[in-house]
C-alpha cells in the first residue's frame, strides 16, 4: 500500500461518536444485540463503534439514524472521524487492518507498508510526494512505522505476504536502505511472524499481474478485499468480488516459490546490495 501513513488507536472524535451512540441507543431502549438486529449488522460491530475502534459505513450510519430517530446525526458526523493520518482512499482499509485476524497481501512493486523500514519508507514518500516538506515526510514515515507495530503482537493477525521478484530488484533508497529492508523482511519470515513467498520472474504471467491486492478476514464480519492504484484505492465487500480476488491470490500463490526458497532468494538479493554499499 503505497499511500498510507499509519494510524493507531481510537481518536477522541471516534470515542465521542461511540459514546453518543451508546447514550442514544440506551435512551431508545435498545441493547447492542437488539440494535444490531434492527440495523442488520453484528452486535460486535455496534460494540466496536461504541468503543471508538471502528466507524460505521455510510449505509450503516443511515440505518442507525433511522432506527434511533436521530435526524441524520450519525451519518452527518461520519467525516469528522477520519484522522487524516492516512491517504483518504486508504483510510477504511487502514482501520480494517487493525481488526483483521488474517491479512493476505500481494506486493506487486513495493514491500507492503506493514513491513517497511524507515529508510525504505522515506525514499517512497520522497518520490511520491516531491513537493512535501521535510517535516511532512518525517510525519508520514513515523506514521507508517507506527502502523507496522501491528506485527508486534506475536500471533494476531496471521499475515501472508506474496512479493513479486521486482520488489527485491528495484533499489528503493539505494543499496543500504535495501539491505536493511530485506534483512527485516527475512527476519519476519524466519521468525514465523509472516508467511513469506516470492513470485519469481520465471513464472511469467500470473493471476495478480495487473494489480496489488490485500485480503482481510475477521472474527465478526465477512472478508473484504482492498485493491489500490495510483492515488486511488477501494475496499470491496461484495462476496462475489472478494471471492474472485481470493481465487486470484490463491492461483498466484500456487506459482510462487516455497517459503524456504523465497527466503534464499531474498538472502541472495540482500548480499548483492551489501556488496554494493
Give residue 12's pLDDT band: very low, low, confident or very high (50, 70, 90).
low
Residue-averaged pLDDT of the chain: 89
Say if residue 77 is in the same domain as residue 94: no
Residues 166 and 234 in one domain: yes
pLDDT at 1: 46
Q: Are 232 and 199 in a shared domain?
A: yes
CATH of the domain at 74: 1.10.260.40
Among 65, 81, 97, the domain boundary falls at: 81
| Within-domain flag for 183 | yes
Rg (CA), the chain: 20
Measured in degrees and rounded to the nearest 5, phi and psi for residue 272 equal -65, -40
Beta carbons within 10 angstroms of residue 196's beta carbon: 23
> How many domains does the chain fold into?
2
Question: Cα–Cα distance between 84 and 110 in angstroms, integer?
Answer: 23
Residue 199: which CATH number? Answer: 3.30.870
Does residue 107 sit within a domain? yes
- Buried/exposed 34-62: b ≥16 CB within 10 Å, e otherwise: ebbeebebbebbbbbbbebbbbbeeebbb
Same domain, 251 and 123: yes
Q: Is the dihedral of CA 208, 106, 117, 271 positive or negative?
A: negative
Which residue range(s) make up the domain with 44? 12-81
Q: Is residue 245 part of a domain?
A: yes
Residue 225: which H helix or E strand, with range?
A: strand 224-229
**Spatial strand order in the sheet of 158-164:** 194-199, 158-164, 102-107, 212-217, 224-229, 232-236
Average pLDDT over every residue of 239-257: 97
In a domain, residue 158? The reply is yes
Cross-strand partners of 162: 106, 197
Q: Are residues 71 and 42 in the same domain?
A: yes
Query: What does the pLDDT look like over 27-82, one tens digit per residue?
Result: 999 999 999 999 999 889 999 899 888 888 899 999 999 999 999 989 988 877 76
pLDDT of residue 91: 74
Helices (H), 90-222: 91-99, 118-128, 134-147, 165-169, 175-191
The larger pLDDT score, comparing residue 94 to residue 29, is at 29
Cell of 132: 512535501
Q: Residues 220-231: pLDDT tens digits?
A: 889 999 998 887
**Which residue among 24, 58, 81 closes a domain?**
81
- Assigned domain for 2 exists: no
Q: Is residue 275 predicted with pLDDT exceeding 80?
A: yes
Question: Considering the domain boundaries, does residue 6 fall inside one?
Answer: no
Q: Determine how β-strand 212-217 pairs with β-strand 232-236.
A: unpaired
Residues 101 and 76 in one domain: no
pLDDT beyond 50 at 7? no
**101 within domain boundaries:** yes
- Boundary residue ending a domain (31, 48, 81): 81
For residue 4, being part of any structural domain is answered with no
% residues pLDDT > 90 (the chain): 62
- 102 and 232 both lie in a single domain: yes
Beta partners for 232? 229
Amino acid at each position: 500500500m503505497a499511500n498510507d501513513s499509519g494510524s493507531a488507536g481510537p481518536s477522541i472524535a471516534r470515542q465521542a461518536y461511540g459514546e453518543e451512540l451508546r447514550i442514544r441507543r440506551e435512551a431508545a431502549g435498545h441493547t447492542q444485540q437488539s440494535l444490531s438486529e434492527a440495523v442488520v449488522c453484528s452486535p460486535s460491530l455496534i460494540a466496536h463503534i461504541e468503543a471508538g475502534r471502528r466507524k460505521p459505513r455510510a449505509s450503516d450510519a443511515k440505518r442507525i439514524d433511522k432506527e434511533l430517530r436521530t435526524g441524520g446525526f450519525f451519518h452527518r458526523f461520519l467525516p469528522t472521524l477520519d484522522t487524516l493520518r492516512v491517504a483518504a482512499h486508504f483510510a477504511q482499509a487502514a482501520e480494517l487492518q487493525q481488526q483483521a485476524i488474517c491479512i493476505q497481501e500481494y506486493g506487486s512493486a513495493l514491500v507492503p507498508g506493514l513491513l517497511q523500514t524507515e529508510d525504505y519508507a522515506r525514499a517512497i514518500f520522497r518520490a511520491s510526494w516531491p513537493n512535501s516538506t521535510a517535516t511532512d515526510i518525517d510525519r508520514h514515515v513515523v506514521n507508517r512505522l507506527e502502523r507496522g507495530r501491528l506485527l508486534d503482537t506475536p500471533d494476531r493477525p496471521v499475515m501472508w505476504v506474496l512479493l513479486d521478484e521486482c520488489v527485491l530488484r528495484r533499489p528503493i533508497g539505494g543499496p543500504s536502505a535495501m539491505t536493511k529492508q530485506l534483512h527485516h523482511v527475512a527476519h519476519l519470515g524466519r521468525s514465523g511472524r509472516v508467511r513469506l513467498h516470492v513470485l519469481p520472474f520465471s513464472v511469467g504471467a500470473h493471476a495478480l499481474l495487473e494489480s496489488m491486492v490485500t485480503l482481510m478476514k475477521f472474527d465478526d464480519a465477512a472478508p473484504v478485499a482492498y485493491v489500490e492504484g495510483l492515488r486511488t484505492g477501494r475496499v470491496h465487500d461484495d462476496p462475489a468480488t472478494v471471492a474472485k480476488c481470493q481465487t486470484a491470490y490463491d492461483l498466484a500463490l500456487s506459482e510462487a516459490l516455497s517459503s524456504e526458497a523465497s527466503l534464499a532468494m531474498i538472502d541472495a538479493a540482500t548480499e548483492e546490495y551489501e556488496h554494493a554499499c
